[in-house]
A = this chain, B = another copy of it.
């Protein structure tokens, strides 16, 4: 049974949805020693999030941003948590809709993602600093 854990600082990214699969894989070379296991990626923030979705056509990620801005609008008249800017409260809600972590099976030393799957960093703020993620890999 092996355990590895690595904190990674992602650089500032513009608001929207971004593929980070390569960064996750690159940060955990020890994954190659695991036959069966799990890779967890956890984001230590409440206005950015992680999800798994299509890794090919960037228009998918554009439409994620377009739709989520309709589903969770800025400046809704019922928001009371408004003093950190109009993008702040929607960012918190979007973060919980997407989630703070992803868990991916490891098989034969690699993430066992489907052929079209990638890991998204979902940046919900307009002018965020870099984001910290904690990658935990375990298995046998």
Q: Is the CB of B60 within 8 A of A92?
A: yes
List of B residues within 8 angstroms of A107 by Cβ: 5, 134
List of B residues within 8 angstroms of A79 by Cβ: 63, 66-67
- In the complex, which residues 8-52 of chain A have their Cβ closer than 8 Å to any Cβ of chain B? 35-38, 40, 42-46, 51-52
Report the interface size class on chain A: 35 or more
Residues of A within 8 A of B (CB): 1, 3-5, 35-38, 40, 42-46, 51-54, 57, 59-60, 62-64, 66-68, 70-72, 76, 78-81, 89, 92-93, 95-105, 107, 112-117, 120, 132, 134, 136, 138-140
Q: By DSSP majority rule, is chain A's interface helix, strand, loop, or mixed? A: mixed
Residue on B with the closest CB to A62?
B80
Q: Is the CB of B42 within 8 A of A104?
A: yes
Report the Cα distance A132→B117, complex, angstroms: 13
Pick from B42, B100, B117: contact of A46, CB under 8 Å:
B117
